[in-house]
Structure 1
Amino acid sequence: MGSSYHQFCPVAKAMELFDERWTLLVVRELVLGSEHFNDLRRGLPRMSPTLLSARLHRLVSAGIVQRVAEGSDVRYVLTPAGRDLEPVVEALGAWGLRWTGRLGDADLDPKLLMWDMHRNVVHSAVPETEVVVQFTFPGTSWVSQRWWLVITETAVDVCDTDPGFDVSVRVTAGLRELTEIWRGELGWSEALDSGAVVIDGPSFLCRSLPEWFAPPLAAGDALIGE
């Protein structure tokens, strides 16, 4: 167990668990639906595997997470106590969006953006059984400036190398602008009108593409209803 504040205050007791670095971000990933170790790592790429294992062990010991082993498949699932943290994560996201100010350049990460978008696809809004979306971020310093989402009826794959399928629709965007759209700070319409985002492809796909993605926790209703 971590160090104690030796206070009866329930906030203090909760923070004995959650003020450890990365712990609440691990909970965020679990709230967002990641259950496997490698998926958790993709949402937390700067967290070492050793530290992730330690934080998961601590959360299991605290009754926040249950480790479920089915043969060689191991999943980490939130318990009822863990599920009760969902509104806490949502509230922190909303507070952070409102009060933490403009993102720095070091906060912009196409890998994390694509990972978050891939797990927030609304399959019922995608008008075809299989769609390949190519995202291009010109002018970024990242090695990979092009990314692909391969969307089928039941799954989404994110690729940083060409998957070899015909591209259905192309999105060319500033990394900052698309991140701001995803956070709910910038509207699709505004970004398209300004040229910060360009969508190329069949008109019915271009028109509907913004509806293919549900807003993440922090964006609330700002991304919807444009």
Structure 2
Amino acid sequence: MGSSYHQFCPVAKAMELLDERWTLLIVRELVTGSQHFNQLRRGLPRMSPALLSRRLHQLARAGVVERRTEDGHVRYVLTEAGRELRPVVEALGAWGTRWIGELGDEDLDPKLLLWDMHRNVDHAAVPAGRTVIYFRFPGAPAGLRDWWLTITGGDADVCDADPGHPVDVTVTAGLRALVDVWRGELTWDDTLRTGEVRLAGPEPLRRALPTWFTLPPFAAIPRPAHRLPARP
């Protein structure tokens, strides 16, 4: 746990645990359904495994997370205290959506984008059988430009190497443009019309692809006319 603020205020006492770097983002991942270490790593791709392990230990010691071992696999599950943080995470996300509009290039992470997209697939809308979507981000750094999303039945998997299956639809996009679609700043139609996102494949699949994903709840939050200025 971080150093004490030495205040009896309950906000101060809560922040002694939660304001350490990455801690609340780990809670975000647990709230959205991640339970295994590798799942948490994929939702927090820029966090080192050692620090993730340390933060999980701190959360478990504080009674926010319970570490369970079942059939040789470790799961991290929110306790009652941890589950009560869901509205806190949701409120912070809503506030950030409304008031923090500026994204730097360093904030644009294709790993996180594809991971979030994979857990928001509308499986009822995707064709039966296996569907493979190839995402190309030509402007992204080398090694982060090519991604494959394989959807089979009720499952979806993200790969950064060709899984070897035929591709049904190719999405070629500016990373910022697709992130803006995902955040609700732009629509699929906006970016398709400008060419910032391009789809290749059979026409019925191209037309249907935007319906295969359910945008995160934050995307629908109304934005004020004027947002907070970008940080220097």
Where on the TM-score scale, by shorter chain, does this alignment land: which range?
over 0.9
Structure 2: stretches of 5+ with no match in the other structure: 223-232
- Paired position in structure 1 for 2:122: 122
- Paired position in structure 2 for 1:46: 46
Does the 8 A contact of 1:148 with 1:161 survive in 2? yes
Deviations 1:79-124 (CA, angstroms, capped at 9, x unpaired) = 2221221121121112112222321111111122111111211111
Q: Equivalent residue of 2:69, what SS?
A: strand
Q: How far, CA to CA, are the matches of 1:82 and 1:220 in structure 2? A: 26
Q: Following TM superposition, by how much is the alpha carbon of 1:155 offset from its aligned partner in structure 2, in angstroms?
A: 1.1
- Paired position in structure 2 for 1:28: 28
Task: Count how many residue pairs are aligned between Structure 1 and Structure 2.
Answer: 222
Q: Equivalent residue of 1:123, what SS?
A: coil
Q: Equivalent residue of 1:124, what SS?
A: coil
Equivalent position amino acid for 2:181 in 1: I
- Paired position in structure 1 for 2:141: 141
The within-5 A match list for 1:64-79 is: 64-79=64-79
Q: How far, CA to CA, are the matches of 1:106 and 1:171 in structure 2? A: 22
Q: How far, CA to CA, are the matches of 1:30 and 1:217 in structure 2? A: 16
Pair 1:106-2:78 in alignment:
no
Does the 8 A contact of 2:98 with 2:221 survive in 1? no
- Paired position in structure 1 for 2:83: 83
Structure 1 range deviating more: 109-118 or 202-211: 202-211
- Paired position in structure 2 for 1:209: 209
Q: Equivalent residue of 1:50, what SS?
A: helix
The within-5 A match list for 1:161-172 is: 161-172=161-172
Q: How far, CA to CA, are the matches of 1:46 and 1:62 in structure 2? A: 24
The CA RMSD measured in Å over matched residues stands at 1.6
- Paired position in structure 2 for 1:200: 200
Does the 8 A contact of 2:97 with 2:221 survive in 1? no
- Paired position in structure 2 for 1:57: 57
Q: Following TM superposition, by how much is the alpha carbon of 1:221 offset from its aligned partner in structure 2, in angstroms?
A: 5.5
Deviations 1:129-186 (CA, angstroms, capped at 9, x unpaired) = 2100011112222323221100011211111111111111111111100011111111
Q: How far, CA to CA, are the matches of 2:67 and 2:106 in structure 1? A: 34
Deviations 1:53-75 (CA, angstroms, capped at 9, x unpaired) = 11111111222111111132000
Q: How far, CA to CA, are the matches of 2:106 and 2:152 in structure 1? A: 32
Does the 8 A contact of 2:191 with 2:197 survive in 1? yes
Equivalent position amino acid for 1:109 in 2: D
Does the 8 A contact of 2:94 with 2:221 survive in 1? no
Does the 8 A contact of 2:45 with 2:111 survive in 1? no
**Identical aligned pairs, as a percentage?**
65
- Paired position in structure 2 for 1:3: 3
Does the 8 A contact of 1:94 with 1:219 survive in 2? no
Q: Equivalent residue of 1:211, what SS?
A: helix
- Paired position in structure 2 for 1:180: 180
- Paired position in structure 1 for 2:229: none
The within-5 A match list for 1:145-160 is: 145-160=145-160
Q: How far, CA to CA, are the matches of 1:100 and 1:7 in structure 2? A: 29
* Alignment TM-score, normalising by the size of structure 2: 0.90
Q: Following TM superposition, by how much is the alpha carbon of 1:8 offset from its aligned partner in structure 2, in angstroms?
A: 2.2
Residues 221 and 189 of structure 1: is their aligned pair in 2 closer, same or farther, counting only changes over 3 Å?
farther
Does the 8 A contact of 1:168 with 1:201 survive in 2? yes
